[in-house]
Structure 1
Amino acid sequence: MSEITSNAVIAGSNLISFMAGITREEKKDLSDLLRYADYFASQTYDRSEFWTSWMEYYRNRLERFSTVRARIVKDPMVITDAEELERITPGVNGTIGSASLGRLMQQSLRKVRIDRDARLFFQHGRGSGRLRTFQVVGCEKTPDGRILIMLCALHANAYTEVDIFGLSERVERDIVLRITGGVYEFHREQYAVQRDSISSKLRNVTRLVIQNI
């Protein structure tokens, strides 16, 4: 596994950002937990085809080693213009940590550049299918030593409808965006019991190798 040398990493389908104050060892535990959640869910479901079920299994692993402190509650959204994506923010019910954690999540969402993919689709897209699916994760250590994980999982599907009128055609393009997630308080002492077992499971899974960004 690559050593974590930055405050942002890609780990499987997770983009993980760390706020100041989280130690190297804590970063490793957090990254491994999120990689393990990806690994566990992918053993049963294909994320691209069964995203809702995949996310249930993913969250199951998080909740095994953490307590849910808040939920992200969003109805599916139909997007008809790429600019709409820039105004979307996660809706969180409950305790969400500091304002800095919320800002970190907004910065992380911009890093994945789903708006760029959407802009290309609205300009040139044909057909229908999955556009993007990923988890954006922010991690914060509070002044009293608690570690919070804010998860924002996104699934974007593109749809195209073409109407032919003689020699011309009209193309309608929509993106259906689903967002789910929440805020979790990580219990590192519980995780420590399974640390070696989890590391062993992840050791040879090349798609989950950590990349510093």
Structure 2
Amino acid sequence: MSQQAVLVAGNLVSFAKDVTEQDRQDVMDLMLYADLSASKKYDQTTLSISWLNHYQQRLIKFGCELKAFIDPETLFASDLQSFYQLTCQVYGSVGSIALSQQLRASFSALDLDQTAMDLFQRSMGNARSVIIKATPCELTASNELMILFCAIKLTSTVDVEGFLFWKETFRDLSIRPDGGVFLFRREIYDRYRAGIRSRLAGLSEQFFHPLKAPQP
């Protein structure tokens, strides 16, 4: 199924072809509003758990019903092979097969694997963190709009151990996923649409960037 995609404040939001223009606009507006609201209160990198909690609370308040959550357990990779295996577990943990496949394609388009490689190869000294977000959306056979929001925080650490002339460097990468599958309740969002659009007036060109849709 072909997709349409927009980068919304760094979050790759993609839609199945049969998602209506109204639904697409509503989801994009809500994602941007949630991002701006969370960023007013918390730094996305240093306070990522609080940021993501606030973000998802905004989604729920304005019409998204949580159906399943992504286990936020922190995973640890010591090399790229283990990183690939762990991220595959995240992709398949919640949502339909189509959403899972689109999530994988979205993170591929966002160069998640390359980011991990860079963190393994270049990080020195203090920990360094990166957060990458993707949100594939699909319509069910009963015309319900399902949203899979997933954020992955990568944090690299480098430890050097040695004695006299011997030294060994150990690199580790922690992977903390967050998010969930949400049912977009149109009848609830209808009550907030005008207020959200008013607060976002003039911001679409700054934060909405259409992209070629990632293909599974």
Alignment TM-score, normalising by the size of structure 1 = 0.88
Structure 1: distance between partners of 2:205 and 2:172: 30
Q: Percent same amino acid among aligned pairs?
A: 28
Alignment of 1:27 onto 2:33: no
**1:206 to 1:162, Cα distance in 2 relative to 1, 3 A:** farther
Q: Which amino acid aligns with 1:137?
A: T
Query: How big is the alpha-carbon RMSD for the aligned residues of Structure 1 and Structure 2?
Result: 2.0
- CA distance in 2 between partners of 1:10 and 1:128 (Å): 30
- Aligned residue number for residue 198 of structure 1: 196
Q: 1:92 aligns to what?
A: 93
Q: Is the 8 A contact 1:35 1:208 kept in 2?
A: no
Q: Does 1:43 align with 2:40?
A: yes
Deviations 1:36-82 (A, max 9, x none): 11111111111111000111100101111111111111420111112
Cα deviation code 1:102-150 (max 9, x no counterpart): 2111111211222212212322321233332022111001121100001
Picking from 108, 113, 116, the partner of 1:115 is 113
Could you tell me how far apart the structure 2 residues matched to 1:169 and 1:175 are? Answer: 20
Check conservation: 1:92, 1:182, Cα contact below 8 A.
no
**Which letter does structure 2 place at the counterpart of 1:16?**
V
Is the CA contact (8 Å cut-off) linking 1:13 and 1:38 kept in structure 2?
A: no
Whether contact under 8 Å (1:83, 1:115) holds in the other structure is no
Q: For 1:43, what is the secondary structure of its paired residue? A: helix
Consecutive unaligned residues of structure 1, counting only runs of 5 or more, are 1-5
User: Residues of 1 paired with 2:158 and 2:205: CA distance?
Assistant: 31
Q: State the distance in 2 between where 1:150 and 1:137 align.
A: 5
| 1:182-213, Cα deviation, whole Å (9 max, x unpaired) | 11000122212211221222235579611111
Relative distance call for 1:134 and 1:207 in structure 2 (3 A) is farther
Letter in 2 for 1:19: A
* Code of the aligned partner of 2:100: G
Name stretches of at least 5 consecutive residues in structure 2 with no aligned partner. 212-216
Structure 2 residue aligned with 1:61, among 40, 45, 58? Answer: 58
1:11–1:208 CA contact under 8 A, matched in 2: no
The 5 A counterparts of 1:53-202 are: 53-64=50-61, 65-87=63-85, 88=87, 89-90=89-90, 92=93, 96=95, 98-202=96-200
Distance in structure 1 (CA, Å) of the matches to 2:126 and 2:16? 38
Q: Which of 29, 44, 49 is the aligned partner of 1:52?
A: 49
- 1: CA distance between counterparts of 2:188 and 2:101? 29
